[in-house]
Structure 1
């Protein structure tokens, strides 16, 4: 089923289409919210709220962009607004420190993925957001610009800086482990 058919069916009130919409975009919404909101219960509630808003506002979607971009924009903005309301701490780039808890033994691909996600979670909000959209969700630069409202140059800059920061963190950890040998 293509996006237009899915939207038409959701708008007509089809429960199966609503379930399909949620299952198709659940991972994207979780990624967007998880990069901003740390508490599991808050994340779960916010993800549900995102889908309520998506379904409520779906009649205003005019296919000017991909449906995934539109949904990611809603999720991102709701998460940021939630964080502002809760006054959640946003880490300054200079304050990002490598946490020893993130250095658990990495023995499998799944462990490596979790390890990398822990590293990404230590980055500032904007860096986490653009990295998640670009690498995990496969969004293009113009799509990330649409979701975040940042200029394209800023998006590219943040992706570059985030990769550099992650590289520095990994190199520092490798030096620590070599020193222990």
Structure 2
């Protein structure tokens, strides 16, 4: 893998190398994006047996359409968009795509509960709560809070207007909060 001054190759360099037939460059693209692609797919698709096929489908599409990549976004954003669209198409075919509903509030910070639970337990509780959300909400929360994508980048990935992304994130957080409060109250009984 050739890079300028021994640094990590840029998106432009990687794409140019792949287009010249360097399959090692595509392996680097996979390496750089596999975490994001996996998070999107695992967040949207519940059927484990289909996840592996979808990951392969995403990278086959990326390889096929790479000559059309115009650098209007980061390569990782483009890959995330392919992953998102692939999942939406899969869910649509299986008629599993729920319509979003609801509005937001921040998660309450109960200091005594937080102090009693380890960081790992809190993470597990949040992940379980996120897993109960509709796939679109899971994806938005993952992209914004875990991948730290901007509203603009999320809009590019999902094809949603920025205002809609903000609105859906607001609703997703409220749904997560409500689910966690309901679960917490049930467990306390």
Distance in 1 (alpha carbons) for counterparts of 2:137 and 2:65: 28
5 Å-filtered alignment, 1:19-168, equals 19-88=27-96, 90=98, 93=101, 108-168=118-178
TM, length-normalised to structure 2: 0.80
Question: Residue 157 of structure 1 aligns to a residue in which SS?
Answer: helix
1:13–1:113 distance in 2 versus 1, CA, 3 Å: farther
Please say if residues 36 and 80 of structure 2, whose CA atoms lie closer than 8 Å, have aligned partners that are also in contact.
yes
Q: CA deviation at 1:151?
A: 1.6
Deviates more, 1:47-56 or 1:123-132: 123-132
- Secondary structure of the 1:13 match is coil
Work out the CA distance in 1 between the residues paired with 2:181 and 2:47: 29
Is the counterpart of residue 4 in structure 1 residue 12 in structure 2?
Answer: yes
- Mapped to 1, the partners of 2:158 and 2:51 lie a distance apart of 19
Compute the TM-score of the two structures, normalised by the length of structure 1. 0.83
- Structure 1's 74 and 15: CA in aligned 2 closer, same or farther, altered over 3 A? same
- The answer to whether 1:15 aligns with 2:15 is no
Q: Which runs of 5+ in 2 are unaligned?
A: 1-8, 103-115
CA distance in 2, matches of 1:93, 1:4: 40
Query: Larger relative contact order (C-alpha < 8 A, sep ≥ 6)?
Result: 2
Which deviations, in whole Å up to 9, do the C-alpha atoms of 1:68-97 show, x marking residues without a partner? 111111111111111111223637658xxx
Q: What SS is found at the alignment partner of 1:70?
A: helix
RMSD: 2.1
Of 8-17 and 43-52, deviating more is 8-17
Kept in 2: contact 1:123–1:162 (CA 8 A): yes
Q: Is the 8 A contact 1:91 1:125 kept in 2?
A: no
Q: Secondary structure at the match of 1:24?
A: helix
**Alpha-carbon contact 1:93-1:123 (below 8 Å) kept:** no
3-state SS of 2:44 partner: coil
